[in-house]
Structure 1
């Protein structure tokens, strides 16, 4: 019995478990967590550095996110409240702006009223 136990201890590191059991399932991209300082990248050369691709929508009815543009970075602390930073180095999120709605991960409409800011995903 002792020999069997020792054999199991020796072979235990070589036993492969299913990969799904070892790693948790990745969460879906949650666009509602995009808030704070945001840099809008428009140069296609740097498209791969962005975390999401967005389309700026003119109509609020078809937008996935209605965003309020905050003037102070400290107050951009809620869902769909962005401080648009002019410098990529200071951004919490980098978003690539596309002209084609079909290539976008989500669509954004900017509002002038803070209480209208919402995420519709």
Structure 2
């Protein structure tokens, strides 16, 4: 009798196993490029492309840029939209962006300006 009970108890986890269900779809909020400001690290090594939040193309024409960025020399003053402090160390960056040479692979295009009041985001 004890042998039969122990046999049924050993099968219990397999009999009460939950049935597989369909995966629940997860909605991801769209990324807002206008929230990129502060210290930014521009990654150029393709090995680390997956560690970057966005892929950007640095364009020469302001008219075709999604974001016109002003380079701030002091990190404390890079506190507005499209005002970046370019850092040399990835560990000190608020945002990591991968720079591509192909405009078609970029999430958005960046043009750097010398005038702070021209800094703007055009999503």
Same fold (TM over 0.5): yes
Greater gyration radius: 2
Does 1:116 pair with 2:89? no
Does 1:26 pair with 2:28? yes
Cα deviation digits, residues 2-54 of structure 1 (max 9, x gap): xxxxxxxxxxxxxx9xx57xx7x432110000100000000000000000000
Does 1:92 pair with 2:94? yes
The normalised TM-score by structure 1 is 0.80
The number of aligned residues is 102
Supply the distance in 1 between the matched residues of 2:102 and 2:36 (Cα, whole angstroms): 21
Higher relative helix content: 1
User: What is the aligned partner in structure 2 of residue 81 from structure 1?
Assistant: 83
The normalised TM-score by structure 2 is 0.79
**What is the root-mean-square deviation of aligned Cα atoms in Å?**
1.5
